Structure 1
Amino acid sequence: MSPRSAVFLGTATVSAAALALALTGGVTAAAAAANLSATFARSSVWTGGYGGGYTIANRGDAPATGWTVEFDLPAGSAVTGSWSSVKTQTGQHYKFTNAGFNGTVAAGAGVSFGFNVSGAGVPTGCTVNGVACAGGGQATTTPTTPTTPPPATTTTPPPSGDTVNVSTAAQLQAALANAAPGQAIKLAAGTYRGSFITTKPGTAAKPITLSGPANAVLINDGPSGDAPDCPAPTAGWDPGYGLWLSGAPYWNLTGFTVQESKKGIVVDDSPHTTIDGVTVHHIDEEAVHFRRSSADSVLKNSTITYTGLVQPGYGEGVYLGSANSNWDCHGNSGGVDRGDRIQVLDNHIGPFIAAEPIDVKEGTFNGVIRGNTFDGRGISGENSADSWIDVKGIGYTIENNTGTFATPGTFANGYENHNTSTSPSFDNGCGNVWRNNKSDLGGVGAYAIKISSVSKCAANPNVVYASNTVTNAKSGLTNIPVTP
């Protein structure tokens, strides 16, 4: 065989092997990869500014494990606030990276973050992870196979019956919108994304129940739309609350989880609400808020962590009532937000509650805070948030709680009370009782129980019993005489 023939046969052999490989479908697919795009939209516009945000979608076939969106704003426009992200800025150039809870974007899924802008300028030059926000084509390389077309969409009648089982966000929204006294709405395990609100009341004899396992998770990626002057259910507006009861008394909420929302559970004008065994975490602002005179309600056996991710000074764990500066909106009981006789029982609150684990506002009366465990790590010190509980209400019983503090965080005292001036006039911050609370101040806090403006409560004094104990305090148990 001549050398030339040998070369020809070798080439023929290689070509045949390649042909065989091709015919058997053996071409190696490219490695799976994420493929992110980011889409901007304005959700609301007002005189002098707007609210907006980006939705980050993964069009690839592997999860993304972190994202960074960058853009420029023209001179005269500036980001004034943001949520569900970490913002840095150099001049007119803005960089937003994922928060701790939304860094992973699964294949075919998406996450979002938002911001407010002063001025009319919109983002330009957007990139996500260094690539133009428009993204590339679908990165999936796995061969596709024919699929059966989906069935035609049918209209489902509103849920009815004593028990309503739901497994999708749309089903949950319908169940909340059509709830009737005595109904039990049961969540299947899974993630429910959307705006979840009810305005349907139960009754004392027939409360309405919403229950689910801990892995039934409610997430609201809002806010969006034009907000009214005061929060109220409004067509086209999503406030970003994980779950909102408005004018819906006699509800029992049990077992499920709320996370990754602007606020967690908001209870407005909904007395006799019971929240039992829920988990609320990774919330931009406060976790649970009893507002607009949602009196005679109970929060018990629940776990709250990681609040104030965007505005640390407004990241309370539990918020009872409203500051008098907000009574124009929320003062629906003779001009006052009367969140009276609310009980907070046997909850685990903290760590990384950025504001107070419990904030008791002025104008509220006769609540009970008992048997809770407070982990003070992560209290921010912003907006005077530097204690486990700040009591401005009247006649509260605070007993059998256990509180600890350790770094990181800012901590002044375990429990504090303050007297605020309001109209109509109340003895705000007076008549409260502390007994049998255990406090470990971590060598940082001054007093376990710090009573301010004692003279203002002369007619209705605060009482600190000797059954309270403290360790690792700079100053001691309390700054007032102890009652045996």
Structure 2
Amino acid sequence: MRRTVLGGFTAAALAAASLLALPAHAAAPKLTAKVVQGSVWSSGYGADVVVANNGDAASAGWTVEFDLPAGTTVSSSWSSTRTQSGQHYKFVNVSYNGAVAPGASTSFGFNAAGLGLPLNCTLNGAPCGGGSSTPSPSPTVSSSPSPSPSPSPSSSPSPTPTPTPTVTTPPGPVVDVSTAAQLTAALAAAAPGQTIRLAPGEYHGVFGTTRPGTEAQRITLTGPRTAVLVNDGPSGDAPDCPTPTPGWDPGYGLWLSGAPYWNLTGFTVKDSKKGVVLDGSHHVTVDGIYVHHVEEEGVHFRRSSADGVIRNSVIEYTGLVQPGYGEGVYLGSANSNWGCHGNSGGVDRSDRVLVENNRIGPYIAAEPIDVKEGTFAGIIRGNTFDGRGISGQNSADSWIDVKGIDYLIEGNTGTFAAPGTFANGYETHNPGTTPSFPNGCGNVWRNNTSDLGGVGAYAIRITSPSSCTARPNVVYASNKVTGAVSGLTNVPVTP
């Protein structure tokens, strides 16, 4: 028999029943965006846009839009796909930073020509600070503290990297590691198609691999920025040429030797003799890593490590012990070192390396990028160079020294301010030039923005035009310069 029981409910019970009848809360992301102005110069500024998730589900992607006042434009950007309509800019996540976990954040960055700040910022159509879909007046803009003028190995300003990129794990088997011993073992046993995933924490040890991936099945080493590799070496007796040798620790933070087709993403390398060294390791992609406080170079493509990529990364505070050998990104080897590193016809052919959308500096003691003789056809594009702290030692007095051949250098933004020694923004040199290797020739500059801080002579100085008559360097009129003692360049400009 059917019974009616409603009459037996009290008012409180009815209220409770109503609450129980409400649908369960659906987990959802709650994204906000904040513009953080990192550096300012006389004609522009650089900024990071931090996208944070305060919700309880991961985001599937994000789109940040804002307007800039008349007279200010975005000159370059990184870690996003940018489109523009007049003074309105739209930035959409790229493959590795769209999924933002609850409580996590990711970022992209841009450089502005002009000093106007973003207006009407929206994130996925809602105000960047959260709330209704009515456009907000502007995002929060703050200035990062400037570092003190004299860094040293023992006491230097705190680095200010772009926040951790969100890392997407590729398909395939995953090896999770959380200790130095586990990482050492995983690198020694790495197999094509495998991902080695770092847990947050510091890993102290000797980290390297000789295990190759393949074109179809790359090997990935990935982790958050809070996964930090530290090499407390070097130690042992070094061989005549740097090769993996039992009992010898070269002091490198991470060393790939004869290990092509790797992805290195997200993590940090610090407090090592060198940061990341690639020897005979072609087709390696370095994406979104952070290298700082190393004694010598930050990232070195060496021993014909061709067709590599370094993008969306931050490199600063290098050359802490040997300032003249503290380059940010080092492509190839000097001809005096080809006896060890010239394994391709006697030349280090670390060719066709793409250096894209990185922030290099401040306190790179040598050049932010050194392009060595004998290398060909690289692309250096969309990077930000902060020249504070360039030492002037070992002829290091520019953002890039180009001794390679047929490089394209475009869309970069460079600034210089004290302290440091600064002669020109970009320079060429021609060591060991022969008909087969017209070093320092055939290079192209376009759409670069340079602020020489009233110190540097030329934005682009071609050291010896007569050495490149058959393969001249080309400087386009689209390059812009402010704060130059002498001007844009010392050679005729191409319209």
TM range (shorter): 0.5 to 0.7
1 CA distance for matches of 2:362 and 2:314?
Answer: 10
Match in the other structure for 2:25: none
Residues 211 and 255 of structure 1 are in contact (CA less than 8 Å); yes or no, is this contact kept in structure 2?
yes
Match in the other structure for 1:237: 248
Match in the other structure for 1:162: 173
The SS at the match of 2:277 is: strand
1:365 aligns to 2:382 (yes or no)? no
Q: 1:162, CA displacement in angstroms?
A: 1.0
1:227 aligns to 2:238 (yes or no)? yes
1 CA distance for matches of 2:333 and 2:392?
Answer: 20
Unaligned runs of 5+ in 2: 1-151, 159-171
Which amino acid in structure 2 is aligned with residue 448 of structure 1? A
Match in the other structure for 1:67: none
Match in the other structure for 2:154: 99
Seen in structure 2, the aligned counterparts of structure 1 residues 315 and 350 have a Cα distance that, compared at 3 Å, is: same
Deviations 1:396-444 (A, max 9, x none): 0000000000000000000000111157841000000000000000000
Deviations 1:248-282 (A, max 9, x none): 00000000000000000000000000000000000
The SS at the match of 1:175 is: helix
2 CA distance for matches of 1:293 and 1:350?
Answer: 26
The SS at the match of 1:290 is: strand
Q: Please give the TM-score of this superposition, normalised by the length of structure 1.
A: 0.67
Match in the other structure for 2:184: 173
Residues 324 and 422 of structure 1 are in contact (CA less than 8 Å); yes or no, is this contact kept in structure 2?
no
Q: 1:452, CA displacement in angstroms?
A: 1.1
* Match of residue 215, structure 2, among 184, 190, 204: 204
Match in the other structure for 1:295: 306
Residues 197 and 221 of structure 2 are in contact (CA less than 8 Å); yes or no, is this contact kept in structure 1?
yes
Pairs within 5 Å for 1:33-52: none
Q: How many residues align?
A: 331
Match in the other structure for 1:337: 348
1 CA distance for matches of 2:180 and 2:434?
Answer: 43
The SS at the match of 1:369 is: strand
* Match of residue 458, structure 2, among 430, 437, 447: 447
Match in the other structure for 1:380: 391
Residues 153 and 320 of structure 2 are in contact (CA less than 8 Å); yes or no, is this contact kept in structure 1?
no
Match in the other structure for 2:271: 260
Match in the other structure for 2:24: none
Which amino acid in structure 1 is aligned with residue 379 of structure 2? V
Residues 153 and 321 of structure 2 are in contact (CA less than 8 Å); yes or no, is this contact kept in structure 1?
no
* Match of residue 280, structure 1, among 291, 312, 316: 291
1:432 aligns to 2:443 (yes or no)? yes
Deviations 1:316-360 (A, max 9, x none): 000000000000000000100001100000000000000000000
Match in the other structure for 1:156: none
Unaligned runs of 5+ in 1: 1-96, 104-160
The SS at the match of 1:443 is: coil
Residues 441 and 468 of structure 2 are in contact (CA less than 8 Å); yes or no, is this contact kept in structure 1?
yes
Q: 1:456, CA displacement in angstroms?
A: 1.0
Larger Rg: 1
Match in the other structure for 2:107: none
2 CA distance for matches of 1:361 and 1:207?
Answer: 27
Residues 241 and 264 of structure 1 are in contact (CA less than 8 Å); yes or no, is this contact kept in structure 2?
yes
1 CA distance for matches of 2:463 and 2:485?
Answer: 17
Match in the other structure for 1:306: 317
Match in the other structure for 2:194: 183
The SS at the match of 1:329 is: helix
Residues 356 and 388 of structure 1 are in contact (CA less than 8 Å); yes or no, is this contact kept in structure 2?
yes
The SS at the match of 1:309 is: coil
Which amino acid in structure 2 is aligned with residue 461 of structure 1? P
Q: 1:100, CA displacement in angstroms?
A: 2.4
Match in the other structure for 1:246: 257
1:318 aligns to 2:373 (yes or no)? no
> RMSD value over aligned CA atoms?
1.5
Q: Percent identity?
A: 76
